[in-house]
A and B are shown apart, each in its own frame.
Chain A
């Protein structure tokens, strides 16, 4: 199974680490000269990484795109079927349902954590909290944990006799207790909240770093002009965080659409088909029903969806920059 997704996010990942540094301290002049035309040998240094990118990124992607036009069981001869697989992707109600589920997961993986993090950061501008480094480290922890570990943990939390239900029982809310991951109404939101938990720390740390770059003069000016918490947030904090919000959106939307680990470990798409996601279908197509072409087609569609959504986010940010 090829994973063509993820590559576009590399430059953004690099920039996560950077915002914490004050910009002025970066040795920018030297860096600029090294990448200028005067030393073409610099491109040689890119060669190893580029070779890896070709071998493990571009070639598998090309193979997947190629296979998506064939019917193939992975063993015997394949036969060319044109756009049949793509037709199936867009007409099979089960696959369409999975694509729809992944759209819902974007709400939980991207919009929810970003909204909450913005509110918290907006409040933190007013109230200075001691020991921020500790909070940052703790909140960032979910991001660095392997997703399978996260999924196993949450499967336990959501279990019928797990901590969540016991907490409900303890405060007399027995009526809320249920087998969350087996519930036709709550399974998908429950999985979505796992995603929220995972991405919140990343988003939050990103925003804190962004806020620290805002000069205190801006806040003082806003306060002298009589701005309250809300006004200050929309006039100063939010516009200054535009870059960080873009990065956060690209990373979290990618995480939402490529979601496989959490679903595979917790529900495998169940109950029924309520938590099916496209990557589960890729897995099933390739390894269970052995319709490799269909799996490849779903992969290509998923990659295009990712590209389009992320390009829309980036385009929106550029437009905003031009305006301001």
Chain B
């Protein structure tokens, strides 16, 4: 699991209802129409004898078909997706069906927690979807690769030029060896065009009221925290009931002190990697110092993340450190009063922080038309579609021609700053199969004063050692 769990947890019931409704609509739009109307359409276009009437499909040097899917006749792509991509999929399926009216979609959406529990089982079934989301790390992607349930995308990446577009290193988070036992290396098994960044949201009125200005360095940011505390304001709104929200905060401090490349190596399990370094200790000590200074919400471990977001919207707290998937909720609640910036440069010398690409798209091994599925993915990866992503509130991982407005402009600028410095540090919970549970418990113990910063790092490293030793 990764820390983005929380984004789907808020208003769970409402979301489930929305998903159920969306699913019904999509099913009605695709499935229902398929059976009743489309044979007639096919007749009118003469599509019932496609093999004779259309030219042979164009292929590339690798024998991959990238175009001319009209020749397939009526086909339906089955898609299993996490509900965060609902709006993205609506747009993408619409565009793809405009290009190929013979291709229809059957989309099944599930909320994050639910999705990660059931997806491997569905992908393993005798009748799996053609396309499905996975999740970086050993628990999902590693499992799917080791079981041979998904196909490598290297050839498609070459044909469609994904490595040039996204940066080869950026895609490492979707790589595994063929056994699914070595993360970050080997073939490419998935891809996403969406970036997810953790950054600092701030309440503009509050910041002005304490006489603060946007910080240019990590040091200045710390000074703002002290300034806020002195003014009687809550410096950082944080609800750590789930254990992962504090990890996002820690991740920002970590990247301020420690080179991002070291952090990535640790996540990918490079031999000899450790969090027991001087820079990491400085980060842990700083984090503890913030706790001791009362910079976080009182009773931090007893407040849920969604509640803390609501409190921030209500004017409790000058800063909120969280993922960019909170943007829509915050903008809706605070309007122009909320801004966003990437954590400014600290002793590490670069702008860095917890960030990664979104959940990967996989093509299942049993997909009937893998080239068609890849072409659909390619549409979502395309430069044109980057603008569509921005339009539905997501941060595209490649440059787009459209300049976002409002809070999303801040978020995009912050993301660009991190990318420019190669400061992406990935999600620490991808590291081992138990790391999510270790980290969530340990941040709570750290914030509850049960363990010291040094003990925190030792316990986390113990999980790392146990996994990579065996």
Say yes or no: A284-B299 contact (C-beta < 8 A), given A181-B241, A268-B242: no
* Nearest Cβ on chain B to A283's Cβ, whole angstroms: 9
Q: Chain A residues with Cβ under 8 A from B147's Cβ? A: 75-76
Contact (Cβ within 8 A) B302 A178: yes
Q: Is B1 an interface position by the 8 A CB rule?
A: yes
Say yes or no: A271-B445 contact (C-beta < 8 A), given A181-B302, A182-B303, A287-B117: yes
Q: In chain A, residues 149-184, which have Cβ atoms closer than 8 Å to a Cβ of chain B? A: 155, 158-160, 178-184
CA distance A295 to B239 in the complex (A): 30
* Nearest Cβ on chain A to B177's Cβ, whole angstroms: 15
Q: Is A73 an interface position by the 8 A CB rule?
A: yes
Contact (Cβ within 8 A) B450 A272: yes
Q: Chain A residues with Cβ under 8 A from B450's Cβ? A: 184, 272
Q: Chain B residues with Cβ under 8 A from A267's Cβ? A: 241
* Nearest Cβ on chain A to B6's Cβ, whole angstroms: 12
> In the complex, what residue of chain A is closest to B140 when comparing beta carbons?
A290
Q: How many interface residues does A have (CB within 8 Å)?
A: 29
Contact (Cβ within 8 A) B300 A75: no
Q: Is A289 an interface position by the 8 A CB rule?
A: yes
Q: Chain B residues with Cβ under 8 A from A269's Cβ? A: 441
> In the complex, what residue of chain A is closest to B434 when comparing beta carbons?
A289
Q: Chain A residues with Cβ under 8 A from B437's Cβ? A: 284, 288-289
> In the complex, what residue of chain B is closest to A158 when comparing beta carbons?
B302
Say yes or no: A75-B143 contact (C-beta < 8 A), given A160-B298, A271-B301: yes
* Contact partner, A290, options B143, B301, B436, B448, Cβ 8 Å: B143
> In the complex, what residue of chain A is closest to B307 when comparing beta carbons?
A159
Contact (Cβ within 8 A) B303 A272: no
> In the complex, what residue of chain A is closest to B301 when comparing beta carbons?
A182
* Nearest Cβ on chain B to A94's Cβ, whole angstroms: 9
* Contact partner, B299, options A179, A270, A272, A287, Cβ 8 Å: A179
CA distance A222 to B264 in the complex (A): 79
Q: Is B353 an interface position by the 8 A CB rule?
A: no
* Contact partner, B445, options A73, A183, A272, Cβ 8 Å: A272
CA distance A27 to B299 in the complex (A): 60
Q: Chain A residues with Cβ under 8 A from B235's Cβ? A: none
CA distance A290 to B118 in the complex (A): 12
Q: Is A273 an interface position by the 8 A CB rule?
A: yes
> In the complex, what residue of chain A is closest to B240 when comparing beta carbons?
A182
* Contact partner, A288, options B1, B298, B444, Cβ 8 Å: B1
Q: Is B433 an interface position by the 8 A CB rule?
A: yes
> Would you give the 0/1 interface string for A55-95, flagging 1 where the beta carbon is closer than 8 Å to chain B?
00000000000000000011110000000000000000000
> Would you give the 0/1 interface string for B75-104, flagging 1 where the beta carbon is closer than 8 Å to chain A?
000000000000000000000000000000
Q: Chain B residues with Cβ under 8 A from A287's Cβ? A: 116-117
Chain B at the A interface: SS class = helix
* Nearest Cβ on chain A to B122's Cβ, whole angstroms: 11
Contact (Cβ within 8 A) A272 B241: no
CA distance A182 to B116 in the complex (A): 26
Q: Is B243 an interface position by the 8 A CB rule?
A: yes
CA distance A159 to B241 in the complex (A): 11
Contact (Cβ within 8 A) A74 B121: yes
* Nearest Cβ on chain B to A179's Cβ, whole angstroms: 2
* Nearest Cβ on chain B to A282's Cβ, whole angstroms: 13
Chain A at the B interface: SS class = loop
Q: Chain B residues with Cβ under 8 A from A184's Cβ? A: 445, 448, 450
> In the complex, what residue of chain B is closest to A162 when comparing beta carbons?
B302
Say yes or no: A182-B299 contact (C-beta < 8 A), given A75-B120, A270-B241, A272-B448: yes
CA distance A76 to B123 in the complex (A): 12
CA distance A194 to B1 in the complex (A): 29
CA distance A75 to B119 in the complex (A): 11
CA distance A268 to B242 in the complex (A): 7
Say yes or no: A289-B448 contact (C-beta < 8 A), given A76-B147, A180-B302: no
Q: Chain A residues with Cβ under 8 A from B124's Cβ? A: 75
Q: In chain B, residues 205-254, which have Cβ atoms closer than 8 Å to a Cβ of chain A? A: 240-243
Q: Chain B residues with Cβ under 8 A from A158's Cβ? A: 302
Q: Chain B residues with Cβ under 8 A from A290's Cβ? A: 120, 139, 143, 433
Contact (Cβ within 8 A) A288 B139: yes
Contact (Cβ within 8 A) B139 A289: yes
CA distance A73 to B299 in the complex (A): 37
* Contact partner, B302, options A73, A159, A273, A288, Cβ 8 Å: A159
Contact (Cβ within 8 A) A289 B441: no
* Nearest Cβ on chain B to A169's Cβ, whole angstroms: 13
Say yes or no: A160-B299 contact (C-beta < 8 A), given A182-B448, A272-B445, A288-B437: yes
* Nearest Cβ on chain A to B306's Cβ, whole angstroms: 12
CA distance A181 to B239 in the complex (A): 12
Contact (Cβ within 8 A) A288 B120: no
Q: Is B440 an interface position by the 8 A CB rule?
A: yes
Say yes or no: A159-B303 contact (C-beta < 8 A), given A75-B124, A184-B448, A270-B243: yes
CA distance A76 to B148 in the complex (A): 9
Q: Is B146 an interface position by the 8 A CB rule?
A: yes
Q: Chain A residues with Cβ under 8 A from B433's Cβ? A: 289-291
Say yes or no: A270-B301 contact (C-beta < 8 A), given A287-B117, A289-B433: yes
> In the complex, what residue of chain A is closest to B242 when comparing beta carbons?
A268
Q: Chain B residues with Cβ under 8 A from A291's Cβ? A: 433
CA distance A268 to B5 in the complex (A): 13
CA distance A270 to B448 in the complex (A): 11
Contact (Cβ within 8 A) A182 B302: yes
CA distance A74 to B121 in the complex (A): 8
* Nearest Cβ on chain B to A146's Cβ, whole angstroms: 13
CA distance A190 to B50 in the complex (A): 68
Q: Is B351 an interface position by the 8 A CB rule?
A: no
Q: Is B359 an interface position by the 8 A CB rule?
A: no
* Nearest Cβ on chain A to B254's Cβ, whole angstroms: 20
CA distance A291 to B467 in the complex (A): 14
> In the complex, what residue of chain B is closest to A186 when comparing beta carbons?
B302
> In the complex, what residue of chain A is closest to B180 when comparing beta carbons?
A76
Say yes or no: A270-B143 contact (C-beta < 8 A), given A74-B120, A183-B302: no
Q: In chain B, residues 416-470, which have Cβ atoms closer than 8 Å to a Cβ of chain A? A: 433-434, 436-437, 440-442, 444-445, 448, 450
Q: Chain A residues with Cβ under 8 A from B241's Cβ? A: 181-182, 267, 270
CA distance A184 to B445 in the complex (A): 8
* Nearest Cβ on chain A to B15's Cβ, whole angstroms: 15
Query: Which residue of B139, B437, B440 has the most chain A CB atoms within 10 A of its CB atom?
Result: B437
Query: Which residue of B240, B241, B445 has the most chain A CB atoms within 10 A of its CB atom?
Result: B241
* Nearest Cβ on chain B to A265's Cβ, whole angstroms: 10
Q: In chain A, residues 253-272, which have Cβ atoms closer than 8 Å to a Cβ of chain B? A: 267-272
* Nearest Cβ on chain B to A288's Cβ, whole angstroms: 6
Query: Which residue of A73, A178, A180 has the most chain B CB atoms within 10 A of its CB atom?
Result: A73
> Would you give the 0/1 interface string for A175-215, flagging 1 where the beta carbon is closer than 8 Å to chain B?
00011111110010000000000000000000000000000
Q: Which residues of A contact B (CB under 8 A)?
A: 73-76, 155, 158-160, 178-184, 187, 267-273, 284, 287-291
Beyond known contacts A180-B302, A182-B299, A270-B301: 6 more, CB 8 A cutoff: A178-B299, A182-B448, A268-B242, A288-B1, A289-B434, A291-B433
Q: 9 shortest A-B CB distances, which residue pairs?
A: A179-B302, A179-B299, A182-B302, A182-B301, A272-B445, A271-B444, A271-B301, A160-B299, A287-B117
7 A-B pairs with CB atoms under 8 Å apart are A178-B302, A179-B301, A181-B241, A182-B299, A182-B300, A184-B445, A288-B437
